[in-house]
């Protein structure tokens, strides 16, 4: 269903504030001055138009799919109603796939769309999430299933998979095919999942929280170890890793290792110290295109904090002995893994940094960028123009009188290489394709789509594509 134009709903403070801050004070607002790269451009947090939390990355078919929670604007608690999916082929330009899973997916759930993880098995995608069971009032683990990493997801069981009042499921499938579900706060549990991924064998088992296994916490006799919540379990070079949110509050990220999937665990120390204006943090680790990446969340966006969090990512390298180095939050994020090809259709909602914009489901399928006002822009990083582009096409709609898409290089005020006029199309989901000549777009550049025009909402954009060649006319 395509939602009505949000004319009666105030624009979020989040996107307005991001627009204001971009390029001006951002570098000094995100992280302490001591860790500021000098001339860095912000690409972290990786999503700017909604708050995101509790990252769970999954590598599939040459892309990283990122499953997150969603903190509501202005939250004063973990008021979370849906989950979001994002994906990237290069770790910097992220495509918004919307929300294919929400509390409404689970008819038995009443609240608390908290930290989950999606895994793939047998061509299907299983997303394990903690939610409150309406009937019992306790937190339970539900499982949703889809045929695609971006959904749509449906409740696999119509009831909880397991329920003991605890949260934060992580699923790991060992080389022999045995899958394990881990979860818990204040305890840490595991159970063996069956091959169908929606049932289990045996009973949930409590992992002994020993100080040797999970470090020593002081000041809380009820919680003698550092383990708090958010387990993330994986295997690398025969060693099993359990990365977790440690201590409370504020949390930091720590990890333990074991010779097997059920232990015995040995505490290994800090992955990420307490940083970043959120009293929780949450780990997710994957390898992608030959490098390792650590996902986490913080309160770095304007209006951000403990209940308005944002997911960020850093690239890291394991030490030679397999230990994880200490990783620090940055506002630059991971380096781009490759470049973006402008000569194939690119979704407008594939964004390195968005300023002032929002997204919504498009009548044509997928998502579109919308709620665009004069001066808003999208940054698309590392666009490989090669020997040059001659024209630009964009799929656009406008329920007002339209505006202009300016194509700029390097910054929102950088060199103009093209200008595309967008007419009123008679509706915000009445789509047409506009074309314009391009001149001077060569090499690999950060591309800015900057939107200009009158007042109010100008236009929507669904996708864009350049054509290679030499332009006949220079941009006006």
Looking up tokens 């390029």, which residue turns up? 23
Nearer to ligand FUB, 282 or 395 (CB): 282
The one among 45, 142, 213, 230 contacting ligand FUB by CB under 6 A? 230
- How far is CA 228 from its chain centroid? 23
- Cα–Cα distance measured from residue 474 to residue 470, given in angstroms and rounded to the nearest whole number: 10
Would the CA dihedral through 101, 130, 196, 232 be positive or negative? positive
What is the DSSP code string of 98-138? Answer: --SEEGGGSTTEEE-----EEEEETTEEEEEEEEEETTT-S
- 168 touches ligand FUB (CB under 6 A): yes
Shortest CB 219 distance to ligand FUB, Å: 20
Q: How far is the CB of 316 from ligand FUB (least distance, A)?
A: 21
Report the nearest approach of ligand FUB to the CB of residue 323 (Å). 24
Q: 406 an active-site residue?
A: no
Alpha-carbon distance 291 to 285, whole Å?
11
Two tokens at 134? 């309406």
Residue linked to tokens 């120390």: 269
19 DSSP 8-state letter? H
Output the smallest distance, CB 438 to ligand FUB, in A.
Answer: 43
Which of 67, 78, 125, 385 binds ligand FUB (CB under 6 A)? It is 78
Q: Which is nearer to ligand FUB, 64 or 115 (CB)?
A: 115
Q: Is 54 among the residues known to form the active site? A: yes
Q: Which is nearer to ligand FUB, 167 or 226 (CB)?
A: 167
Comparing C-alpha atoms, which of 301, 445, 291, 338 is closest to residue 92? Answer: 338
Pairing mode, if any, of strands 227-236 and 444-452? unpaired
Biggest alpha carbon–alpha carbon distance for the chain = 75
Is position 276 an interface residue for ligand FUB (rule: CB under 6 A)?
no
Closest CA to 178 of 70, 260, 67, 82: 260
Q: Are 50 and 84 in contact (CB under 8 A)?
A: yes
Residue 69 interacts with ligand FUB (CB under 6 A): yes or no: yes
Q: Which is nearer to ligand FUB, 229 or 358 (CB)?
A: 229
Residue 84 within binding range of ligand FUB, rule CB under 6 A: no
Under rule CB under 6 A, which residues in 99-158 are in contact with ligand FUB?
Answer: 114-115
Compute the chain's Rg from CA coordinates.
23
Buried b (16+ CB within 10 A) or exposed e, 394-414: bbbbbbbebbbbbbbbeebeb
Residue from 247, 282, 381, 419 binding ligand FUB (CB under 6 A): 282
Residue 216's DSSP bridge partners are 225
Structural contact between residues 240 and 151, judged by C-beta atoms closer than 8 angstroms: no
Q: Among residues 129, 161, 167, 380, which is the contact residue for ligand FUB, using CB under 6 A?
A: 167
Q: Which two tokens stand for residue 414?
A: 């950088």
- Return the residues of window 241-270 that contact ligand FUB according to CB under 6 A: 245
Of 43, 90, 228, 347, which is the active-site residue?
228
Answer yes or no whether residue 193 interacts with ligand FUB by CB under 6 A.
no
Closest approach of ligand FUB to the CB of residue 331, in Å: 21
Interface with ligand FUB (CB under 6 A), residue from 229, 314, 347, 373: 229
Which residue from 27, 46, 50, 53 is in contact with ligand FUB, where contact means CB under 6 A? 53
CB of 295 to ligand FUB, least distance (A): 12
Is residue 280 part of the contact set for ligand FUB (CB under 6 A)? Answer: yes
443, two tokens: 């090499």
Return d(Cα 37, Cα 42) in angstroms, integer. Answer: 10
Strands 239-246 and 252-258: antiparallel
Do 70 and 83 contact (CB within 8 A), yes or no? Answer: yes
Question: Which residue's CB is nearer to ligand FUB, number 89 or number 139?
Answer: 139
Shortest Å, Cβ 291 to ligand FUB: 25
Is residue 54 within the footprint of ligand FUB (CB under 6 A)? yes
Kindly state the tokens that stand for 50.
């909604």
- The distance of closest approach from Cβ of residue 217 to ligand FUB in the complex, given in angstroms and rounded to an integer, is 17
226 part of the interface to ligand FUB, by CB under 6 A: no
Given the complex with ligand FUB, which of 113 and 369 has the nearer CB atom? Answer: 113
Are 159 and 179 spatial neighbours (Cβ–Cβ below 8 Å)?
A: no
Q: How far is CA 421 from the centre of its chain?
A: 32
Counting residues that bind ligand FUB (by CB under 6 A) gives: 13
List, in sequence order, every residue forming a beta bridge with 315; answer none if it has no partner.
Answer: 293
- In the complex, the smallest distance separating the C-beta of residue 300 from ligand FUB, rounded to whole angstroms, is 15
**Residue numbers of the site for ligand FUB (CB under 6 A)?**
53-54, 69, 78, 114-115, 167-168, 229-230, 245, 280, 282
Give the catalytic positions in this structure: 54, 228
């Amino acid at each position: 269903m395509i939602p009505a134009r949000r004319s009666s709903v105030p624009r979020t403070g989040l996107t307005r504030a991001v627009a204001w801050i971009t390029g001006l004070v951002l570098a000094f607002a995100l992280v302490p001055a001591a860790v500021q790269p000098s001339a860095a451009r912000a690409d972290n947090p990786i999503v700017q138009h909604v708050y995101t939390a509790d990252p769970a990355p999954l590598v599939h078919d040459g892309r990283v799919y990122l499953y997150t929670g969603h903190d509501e604007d202005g939250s004063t608690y973990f008021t979370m109603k849906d989950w979001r999916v994002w994906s990237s082929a290069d770790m910097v330009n992220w495509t918004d796939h919307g929300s294919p899973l929400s509390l409404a997916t689970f008819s038995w759930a009443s609240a608390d769309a908290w930290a989950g993880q999606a895994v793939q098995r047998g061509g299907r995608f299983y997303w394990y999430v903690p939610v409150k069971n309406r009937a019992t009032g306790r937190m339970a683990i539900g499982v949703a299933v889809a045929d695609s990493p971006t959904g749509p997801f449906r409740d696999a069981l119509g009831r909880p998979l397991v329920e003991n009042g605890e949260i934060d499921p992580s699923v790991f499938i060992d080389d022999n095919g045995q899958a394990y579900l881990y979860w818990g706060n204040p305890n840490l549990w595991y159970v063996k999942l069956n091959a169908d991924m929606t049932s289990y064998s045996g009973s949930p088992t409590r992992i002994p929280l020993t100080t040797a296994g999970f470090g020593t916490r002081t000041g809380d006799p009820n919680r003698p170890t550092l383990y708090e919540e958010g387990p993330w379990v994986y295997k690398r070079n025969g060693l099993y890793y359990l990365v977790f949110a440690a201590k409370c509050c504020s949390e930091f990220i720590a990890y333990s290792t074991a010779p097997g999937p059920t232990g015995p665990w040995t505490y290994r120390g800090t992955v990420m110290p307490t940083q970043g204006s959120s009293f929780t943090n949450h780990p997710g680790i994957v390898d992608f295109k030959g490098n390792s990446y650590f996902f986490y969340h913080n309160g770095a966006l304007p209006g951000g904090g403990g209940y308005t969090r944002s997911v960020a990512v850093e690239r890291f390298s394991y030490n030679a002995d397999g230990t994880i180095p200490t990783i620090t939050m940055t506002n630059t994020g991971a380096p781009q893994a490759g470049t973006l090809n402008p000569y194939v259709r690119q979704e407008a909602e594939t964004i390195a940094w968005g300023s002032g914009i929002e997204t919504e489901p498009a009548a044509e399928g997928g998502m579109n960028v919308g709620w665009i006002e004069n001066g808003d822009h999208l940054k698309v990083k590392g666009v490989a123009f090669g020997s040059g582009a001659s024209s630009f096409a964009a799929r656009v709609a406008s329920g007002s009188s339209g505006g202009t898409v300016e194509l700029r290089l390097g910054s929102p005020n950088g060199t103009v290489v093209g200008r595309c006029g967008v007419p009123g199309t008679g509706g915000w989901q009445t789509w047409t394709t506009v074309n314009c000549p391009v001149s001077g777009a060569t090499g690999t550049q950060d591309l800015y789509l900057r939107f200009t025009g009158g007042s109010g909402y100008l236009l929507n954009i669904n996708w864009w594509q350049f054509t290679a060649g030499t332009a006949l006319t220079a941009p006006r």
